[in-house]
Structure 1
Amino acid sequence: MTTADLFLWFFAGLIPLAAMAFWLARGRAMAIETGDVRLHSRPGFYGWFSVIWLALPAIAVSFAFSVLHMFGLFTVPGPMLLAATFAAGGAGLWFSLGQIKAEFRARQAVEKVMRGLLLTAATISILTTIGIVLSVIFESIRFFKVIPIWDFITGTQWQPDTAFLIGAGRADEHVAPPLFGSVPIFAGTFMITLIAMLVAVPVGLFSAIYMSEYASHKARGRLKPMLEILAGIPTVVYGFFAAITVSPMIVEIAHSFGYEAAYTNALAPGLIMGIMIIPFMSSLSDDVIRAVPESLRDGALALGTTKAETIRHIVLPAAFPGIVSAFLLAVSRAIGETMIVVMAAGLRPNLTMNPLEGMTTVTVKIVEALTGDQEFDSAFTLSAFALGLVLLIATLILNIISTIVVRKFRQRYE
């Protein structure tokens, strides 16, 4: 019996048994409730109490056997595993049915279990975040044992071609040492992100203001879905459009003004990435602007302010924390984009302030390092974790600064 068969039989048997347990316990609770006897909780809570006592023991037994099998301590045949899980579920059902009495507090028991499940879900998300951070830190430490951290942070050249010699124990050969200067990579990341934000923030924010404050209900119902279609277009399509259409246009326009421009330039992916991010900025800003109480608008208009002044001095300050959150989400989306940069900006680390030249970003180099044919222990592969760590720290600093700004502005507004 394969693992897929075990899952199929487990859930195919557990779901009908859970439904049976719910109706059986609910019916038994309703039978107890008569004219003189009143139940402490509604009958549905008794049904869910039985479902919980049926499902949790069965899941606990299957999880315990899975852990033992994963660590190679004990292996249970498939039919025996199913029999053990259903036996545990049956014992739990028998116990829960015995607890159904008029004075039993079924609602408190069910809510206690639900609080535990919610706490477990929150704990899993936190532990996952901690695990991601620790894995990046540990692998980065391995990289910094080979490449000095100061050279990585302040270096201006990225040339890891001979990095495989370090992993092969041939670093003392007469070849040029690998260079892992991350400055040009992060410069390209910030350049392309800045271009994208210069497009997405004003267009997205102004469109959100129009749809929330000026557009009629009919126009809003038509324009917002059309705008949000941009969010559903695959990034590879944006990459094709940037590489085939936008980049040649930029080259021709630059030549007409007497400037040289490469076909793999940073301006094209920045512009297209900004267009891609417009729905994120617009939709979130629209929601937070519409969430501003109407009484604030009415009070401002009653004092003689115009609609534009009301938006500028009342609505936007009240919605500023939400707008900042939308901005951070847009920045994160821009920093994490890979496909558009690969197709339109190229792979060459280039430390320059000229957006008409080719550049690359951190995510592109991470993908390149982890998809190559080098060993995992090589410095080139481990450099992906170092890049990810620096990017994580930079993003954390950005979030801290934005949180401080939002709190100060909120206190000033309140």
Structure 2
Amino acid sequence: MGITVTTGTVLLYLFCGLVPLSVVAYFLATKRTYSVKFEGETFHSTPGSYGWYAIVCTLSPALLASFVAAVLQLTGLVEVPATALLAVILTLAAAGLWLGVLTVKPSLKARSLVEGLIVKMLFVASLVSIFTTIGIVLSVTFEAMKFFDVVNIWDFVTGTTWNPDEAVAGRDVQGVFGSIPLFAGTFMITAIAMVVAVPIGLFSAICMSEYASPAFRKVAKPALEILAGIPTVVYGFFAAITVSPLVVHAAEYFGLQADYTNALSPGLVMGVMIIPLISSLSDDVISSVPNSLREGSLAMGAYRSESIKSVVLPAALPGIVSAFLLAVSRAVGETMIVVMAAGLRANLTWNPLEGMTTVTVRIVDAFTGDQAFDSPETLSAFGLGLVLLVVTLLLNILSLVVIRRFRQQYE
């Protein structure tokens, strides 16, 4: 019988095994520091540090055995029985408990050992995010290479026609996977969202951090942040049922023709959705600007508005740019609102009143269809993901360059 990861197994493993042993190890090690055997001697660390040292000794061999067993199981080298694994883990934990409590003595630098372990854990945690990013990039790149073996990368990047339905067996797929309409729709809807979110979010942040009273700020900021907790499907319903008809009627009033699935509606609603993202982050950054800068500007005779424009905002600009970039990434990655309000049609146009779609929508559509995983239509999702990843990377590099130049000028 192999290892079966179930809720019952996890609860048995943790709450009936390692957790009780860890609690016992902590109290036994702490109690040992008050033992008559060491009466009159000064311990290097606090009793709590020795307790955590004993917990580390208890958990380390057990977790190491769990990791080794998981690697053997995943690689198929050895089939490890679950009952035998639990018995070995609990035995190692008990042995570690005995050894940890036994080695507690005044000369043991428990605090240094525990703090050193914490530093190593933090370092490993930072490496996890780095390796995760590398893994994502490599996985997308390898699958995208399969797609580019079928479709010319230049035709994909510069093509103006996206029609995967033509990519059937025995037919030339060149010329039907042009990604420009998808990226045009992505940038169009994102630009509309940012036009709505940036001024409103930034002005609300300035208002709450510089002008609002504490009582007003206490009510207004949580009320504004409620928008961030609304599910995107609710925004999608709002865009499709309420905003789209309003856009159509407004266009007719001005003598224009608008589709019910247009790019303007999801852009407007998406802008409302990311307002709290810009507002909350910008508010925190502006509030963190030292008051000495404000007071120095006012002492020089500047009005409050002039101080905000010439001193506070430049000092907070790096954080504000980071908030804008995060909002752009949030808008680029949005899918549900676009599906419900803009449709699935890949349309290359400058008219926001027509239906358009985005890269993320087509990626979802490619994976939810009935095509085989190795079909050009499904593999096109990885090509789109790779290009979107490159575009996002370039935006990050551009923002870093702007922030660095402004910091040098401001300093």
Match of 1:108 in 2: 112
CA deviation string 1:274-296 (max 9, x = no partner): 00000000000000000000111
1:387 to 384, 392, 397: 384
Deviation at 1:33, TM superposition (A): 8.5
What CA distance in whole angstroms lies between the structure 2 residues aligned with 1:323 and 1:102? 52
What CA distance in whole angstroms lies between the structure 1 residues aligned with 2:113 and 2:264? 60
Match of 2:254 in 1: 257
Match of 2:275 in 1: 278
Match of 2:9 in 1: 6
What CA distance in whole angstroms lies between the structure 2 residues aligned with 1:313 and 1:186? 36
When residues 180 and 32 of structure 1 are mapped into structure 2, their CA distance, relative to the original with a 3 A threshold, is farther
- Whether the 8 Å CA contact 1:260–1:356 is kept in 2: the answer is yes
Match of 2:234 in 1: 237
CA deviation string 1:106-150 (max 9, x = no partner): 111111211221111111111110000001111111100000000
- Whether the 8 Å CA contact 1:162–1:177 is kept in 2: the answer is no
CA deviation string 1:320-377 (max 9, x = no partner): 0000010001000000000000000010011100000000000000000011110010
What CA distance in whole angstroms lies between the structure 1 residues aligned with 2:309 and 2:281? 18
1:248 to 245, 248, 256: 245
What CA distance in whole angstroms lies between the structure 2 residues aligned with 1:184 and 1:33? 79
Tell me the matched-pair count.
407
**Counterpart AA for 1:403:** L
What's the secondary structure of 1:179's corresponding residue?
A: coil
TM-score by length of 1: 0.96
2:138 to 134, 140, 144: 134
1:77 aligns with 2:102: no
1:321 aligns with 2:318: yes
Q: After the TM superposition, which of the residue ranges 372-381 and 90-99 deviates more from structure 2? A: 90-99
1:12-411, aligned counterparts within 5 Å? 12=15, 13-31=17-35, 36-165=40-169, 170-171=170-171, 179-411=176-408
Deviation at 1:34, TM superposition (A): 5.9
Q: After the TM superposition, which of the residue ranges 324-333 and 23-32 deviates more from structure 2? A: 23-32
TM-score by length of 2: 0.96
**Counterpart AA for 1:130:** I
Structure 1 residues without counterparts, runs of 5 or longer: none
What CA distance in whole angstroms lies between the structure 2 residues aligned with 1:344 and 1:81? 53
What CA distance in whole angstroms lies between the structure 1 residues aligned with 2:394 and 2:30? 54
Q: After the TM superposition, which of the residue ranges 270-279 and 9-18 deviates more from structure 2? A: 9-18
CA deviation string 1:182-240 (max 9, x = no partner): 00100000000000000000000000000000010001111111111110111111111
What CA distance in whole angstroms lies between the structure 2 residues aligned with 1:256 and 1:362? 32
Q: After the TM superposition, which of the residue ranges 118-127 and 282-291 deviates more from structure 2? A: 118-127
Q: After the TM superposition, which of the residue ranges 28-37 and 130-139 deviates more from structure 2? A: 28-37
Structure 2 residues without counterparts, runs of 5 or longer: none
- Whether the 8 Å CA contact 2:152–2:174 is kept in 1: the answer is no
**Counterpart AA for 1:111:** E
**Counterpart AA for 1:341:** V
- Whether the 8 Å CA contact 1:188–1:359 is kept in 2: the answer is yes
When residues 32 and 333 of structure 1 are mapped into structure 2, their CA distance, relative to the original with a 3 A threshold, is farther
What CA distance in whole angstroms lies between the structure 2 residues aligned with 1:10 and 1:319? 49
What CA distance in whole angstroms lies between the structure 1 residues aligned with 2:36 and 2:158? 76
- Whether the 8 Å CA contact 1:33–1:39 is kept in 2: the answer is no
- Whether the 8 Å CA contact 2:21–2:97 is kept in 1: the answer is no
